Amino acid sequence: MKTAQQIARDVRSGESSAQSELDASLAAIRGRNEELNVFLYVDEAGARAAAAAIDEKVAKGDAVGPLAGVPIAIKDNMCQVGIPTTCSSKILEGWRPPYNATVIDRLVAAGAVPVGKTNLDEFAMGSSTENSAFGPTRNPLDPSRVPGGSSGGSAAAVAADMTPIALGSDTGGSIRQPAALCGLVGVKPSYGLVSRYGLIAFASSLDQIGPFSKTVMDSAILLETIAGHDPMDSTSLPEPAPSLSAHVEDGVVGKRIALVRELIEGADADVVASVNRAVEALKDAGASIIEISIPELHLGLSAYYLIAPAEASSNLARYDGVRFGLRVDAEDVEAMNTATRTAGFGAEVKRRIMLGTYALSAGYFDAYYGQALKVRTQMINAFQRAYAQADLLIGATAPSVAFPFGSKTSNPMAMYLSDVFTIPTNLAGEAAISVPFGTGEAGLPTGVQLLGPGRSEAQLFAAARVLELAEVGS
Amino acid sequence: MTEALRREDVAHVAKLARLSLSEEELELYTEQLGQILEHANDMSTLDLEGVVPTAHPFGLINVVRDDIVRLSLSRDVVLAMAPDAEDGRFAVPRIMGEAP
Amino acid sequence: MTLPGSWEMVVGLEVHTELKTATKMFCGCANHFGAEPNTNVCPVCLGLPGSLPVLNERAVELAMAIGMALHSRIAPSTFHRKNYFYPDMPKDFQISQYDLPINSGGYLDLPDGSRVTIERAHLEEDTGKSTHLGGSGRIHGAERSLVDYNRSGVPLVEIVSGPDIRSSAQARAYAAELRGILIATGASDGRMEEGSMRIDANVSVRKSGDPFGTRCEIKNLNSLRSLHRAIDYEALRQIEVIEEGGVIRQETRHWDENLGVTSTMRTKEEAEDYRYFREPDLVDLAPEQGWQDRIRLSLPAMPAERRTKLAERLNAPTPAQLDAVGVVIDLDLEVFVNAAIDAGVDPVLAIARTANELAGGIEGIKNLTPDAFTATLLMEQSGQLSATQAKTVLGELLAHGGEPAGIVAAKGFEQLSSDSLGSTVESLIAENPDEWARYCEGDEKLAQFFIGQVMKLTKGQANGKAVIAELQTRR
């Protein structure tokens, strides 16, 4: 399959057309969607119209954007006018948003062709896409295993060559972990770099939209397309989108990169081996390597599993059967709210709503939520100290390769531990990228994670490109 | 140190969150949430006196917009989403109490 | 009303005022009362999934203006979520300021010289509005309810007073004074009947000198009259409970305007657990000095200052005259008074005619110019018009506009000639010899008797001063 960069180039030059690229994408979706359960909805008509419009522009010699004619998959927690948007929840089944997420507007303006909405763990709560009300997504590399989550559908779309790029959202690792498990590049941008307007909130202070792709360059192009200030999001960074693709080939000569002990601790041996090989590759490319310890990272999981559910418990209150989505009728409004929510939410969502409600409730606030916010401060300070010593950090993305279905569903804590290396970045609001590097058990890909301070995306892409070159050699 | 989670705590929280739980679910959630909270107890032993809590990852301030009217949604579009509507409004079953 | 024995009431008020912005607090929908239901709504104020709030700059400025007028401290502040389920609240949480409000502290001086402290004045968003079907149109007994979200997200400032109010009259005076300030700052139109200003009252009673008693909160008082009545009722109710050996439970109570009683809405035990936490979709608010200074400079004079200034134009004003000054300021009518006084009209007359005749016909005030008002009063002062005629002319001006001279001519308000006035007076003297004799002996009160008779005979067309002159030449 061609990269997004190649498709856009060929569409612009007339060597290919948006419509033929879309045909290839739709054919791939038809080929494997039933088996893998990647797309919850394919907007064939809308995509065909968008592709035809791009081709018409090219024919007339009009300017087309950097993603002209590139099919893209959208995680089904981003609003698109008139397109069913479910968050993989029964509570939103049938809802068609009357507005576009900012990222959708920006993609369309850049010439991209959104082909449909991909499966996720309900409301992005999960690490395997097994929590979807519409069935799990299978890992295209080994359909007996999970693709990771929560953006498992978007990761699978790219891994199965259905689209060259996809958008996911990352609250505690929901882009990077499935990227690692599916052998892809996945980026969690700095908090505020990408507008959250139209992203259905899980945990507002942690959520970020980011790219999936097979190549580092494609993620850079996609991210610089969707990034930049948005007046509709108060937490959006004030500056315009940074130039990223221009820095992909910058290399790492003279860069200080720190291997963080806590970011490989407890990982499978083959995952650790991949990280160590990546460190060697970066050293060979001219980086100076140190090893450090950030003990505060141990507290990330605890803080995250109070902060994220607390925010979620409030963000998900609006699914009450009054204005949109599911309603289960009852005698009075309170009973109707309860019946609707009880029928509409799955077990994991209920678990987190209750956990968050408890953490915020009178008498427990200080001990749980209040304490977690202070730990968050400690985490930020600890990262700051680390970045005084190093430009970037390196570790594993996930503790293991893709795991079999059902292996972690009975024990929530075991599932939560698959995000242990990715969560700290979200708590600190910083940036990280997962790069496919090496293989582990059953020949499945392992992911290496590079972490940087806020607004360090250009450096992260440059370092990721060094690993890509070392691995693929092109 | 925080005390262990009780069944009645979970029942109370479920009511606050407008969820109804079966006896089995109540049992299961009490156990599972208890485990998660127990894990979170690694934080409660820390002395974080004087540490400023972080609610936002970045210190942006004074983000405001101009007081200029933008187009609202069409009422037909808005009410088409409603599970039930009447007379230009969203319809709900009877409301039992006044707003707090 | 005075309370029995040595009982004293302790009242604190929470006044919610809708801000007069063009758009809502967190979205660009019009903030407009009276629109067709659900026509001023968008993803943000409907709480649709994925929508995000962005703070209205003008709402912040009006909140600061209110704080400045109340001598509050403007401080860095934050927004919280107050979580509870209710169908008129689209997100099932309300965005409100909590522990760090934009305005802290302050005070409001009332016309009677008393001072009520202000604890805080913070920003929050309004809810939608429910209509209840079936039953009697009230919430209880209704079959179902219909919700309109036009009001959802309208900016509010909640002004919380200290527990400094000691009578229903003082509560009313506080609310009225505050209303004047809200109108003067341009923050609110003060229309209580449209719900743009709503009051909750915290009421407790104690024996003078004792510590504060347990308080009850009476919700949603929508007029100054309801405020007054509800507080009196509640204080007496609490006294009765205590005197019969009972105890007051802390609770929220509902005021029934028709029955004139308060009743339990929610006890403290039933109170919601609001789970306040920082609103992660909004950032901190910390207006810099330059921004604050711009607002401060644009603040007009407040009612108290305007009252003092106007009262200074009166020489040793009586309490009744000061009340009239209050009415002039409340109704924003100084422009008429000042124009008249500057043109030589007696300040007492100018204020009286404004506080009575103009206030009475306030709905037509746009028909009246200060020049026409001044001209009318000058005619009255010179004796060209009687008081009754001047009032009629003002009434006509308020109702239809026009020029005073034209109205005087059209109404035939030419003063009686002194000849015909003289003959009227003489015939009255002849018909009332006893009264005339007493007047001649120095009983000046009888002048009023003769003036009254002349007015009756001339249907108010005579000038009182001219009648006295006629009487005196014959004494």
- The answer, for B43 touching chain A at a CB cutoff of 8 Å, is yes
The pLDDT-based confidence of C5 (bands split at 50, 70, 90) is confident
Q: State whether A235 and C280 contact (CB < 8 Å).
A: yes
- Number of folded domains that form chain C: 3
> Does any domain span residue C2?
no
Whole domain around residue C148: which residue ranges?
7-297
Question: The domain that contains C465 carries what CATH number?
Answer: 1.10.10
Select the residue of C81, C93, C277 nearest A369 (Cβ to Cβ).
C277
> Does any domain span residue C460?
yes
Q: In the numeric block, which tokens belong to residue C458?
A: 């001339």
Instruction: Estimate to the nearest angstrom the gap between the alpha carbon of B69 and the chain centroid.
Output: 30
Instruction: Give B15→chain C minimum CA distance, Å.
Output: 11
**Mean model confidence pLDDT for chain C:** 92
Same domain, C266 and C406: no
H/E element, B43: helix B23-44
Asked if residue A224 lies in contact with residue A458, where contact means CB atoms within 8 angstroms, the answer is: no
Q: State whether C56 and B64 contact (CB < 8 Å).
A: yes
pLDDT at B1 over 60: no
The pLDDT-based confidence of C467 (bands split at 50, 70, 90) is confident
Residue C77: CB atoms within 10 A of its CB come to 22
Asked if residue A110 lies in contact with residue A67, where contact means CB atoms within 8 angstroms, the answer is: yes
Residue A66's nearest CA partner among A5, A146, A124 is A5
- The answer, for C147 touching chain B at a CB cutoff of 8 Å, is yes
A–B interface: beta-carbon pairs under 8 A:
167
Position with higher pLDDT, A93 vs C138: A93
> Does any domain span residue B68?
no
Which chains neighbour A (Cβ–Cβ under 8 Å, 3 or more pairs)?
B, C
User: Dihedral sign, CA of A170, A172, A176, A182?
Assistant: negative
Model pLDDT, residue C414: 67
> Does any domain span residue C238?
yes
Global pTM value: 0.91
- Strand pairing category for C197-207 and C155-161: unpaired
Domain boundary among C373, C393, C411: C411
Q: What is the pLDDT of residues A213-227, one digit of tens each?
A: 999 999 999 999 999
In the annotation, is A174 catalytic?
Answer: yes
In the annotation, is A150 catalytic?
Answer: yes
Query: Which domains does chain A possess?
Result: 4-244 (3.90.1300.10), 249-298+379-472 (3.90.1300.10), 303-366 (no CATH)
Instruction: Give B74→chain C minimum CA distance, Å.
Output: 7
- The answer, for A40 touching chain C at a CB cutoff of 8 Å, is no
Model pLDDT, residue A474: 53
Whole domain around residue B33: which residue ranges?
7-44
Query: If you average pLDDT over residues C239-263, what whole number do you get?
Result: 94
Query: If you average pLDDT over residues C151-167, what whole number do you get?
Result: 98
Same domain, C218 and C232: yes
How far apart, in whole angstroms, are the C-alpha atoms of residue A72 and residue A69?
9
> Does any domain span residue C233?
yes
Domain boundary among C411, C427, C442: C411
- The answer, for C77 touching chain B at a CB cutoff of 8 Å, is no
pLDDT at C441 over 90: no
Same domain, C210 and C147: yes
pLDDT at B90 over 80: yes
Q: State whether A341 and B17 contact (CB < 8 Å).
A: yes
The pLDDT-based confidence of A472 (bands split at 50, 70, 90) is confident
Select the residue of C90, C275, C280 nearest A318 (Cβ to Cβ).
C90
Position with higher pLDDT, C439 vs B79: B79
Question: The domain that contains B11 carries what CATH number?
Answer: 1.10.20
Q: What is the pLDDT of residues A366-423, one digit of tens each?
A: 889 999 999 999 999 999 999 999 999 999 999 999 999 999 988 888 889 889 999 9
Residue B83 DSSP class: S
Give the residue from B8, B29, B54 with the most A CB atoms within 10 Å of its CB, the best one to mutate. B54
Query: If you average pLDDT over residues C334-349, what whole number do you get?
Result: 95
Treating both helix axes as pointing N-terminal to C-terminal, what angle do A216-226 and A4-13 enclose, rounded to 10 degrees? 70
How far apart, in whole angstroms, are the C-alpha atoms of residue C81 and residue C92?
10
- Number of folded domains that form chain B: 1
Model pLDDT, residue C415: 60
CB under 8 Å to A308, separation ≥6 — which residues?
A171, A172, A202, A203, A206, A352, A356
Q: State whether A362 and C43 contact (CB < 8 Å).
A: no
> Does any domain span residue C1?
no
Model pLDDT, residue B4: 82
pLDDT at A269 over 70: yes
Residue in C with minimal Cα distance to A313: C83
**Mean model confidence pLDDT for chain A:** 97
- The answer, for B68 touching chain A at a CB cutoff of 8 Å, is no
- Strand pairing category for A165-170 and A71-75: parallel
Model pLDDT, residue C137: 66
Domain boundary among C297, C314, C348: C297
Same domain, C457 and C376: no
DSSP of A412-458, one letter per residue? HHHHHGGGTTTHHHHHHT-EEEEEEEEE-GGG-EEEEEEEE-TT-HH
Same domain, C364 and C317: yes
Query: If you average pLDDT over residues C380-407, what whole number do you get?
Result: 91
Instruction: Give B28→chain A minimum CA distance, Å.
Output: 10
Model pLDDT, residue C421: 78
- The answer, for C51 touching chain A at a CB cutoff of 8 Å, is yes
Pick from A78-87, A353-362, A462-471, C385-394: least confident: C385-394
Give the residue from A83, A320, A329 with the most C CB atoms within 10 Å of its CB, the best one to mutate. A320
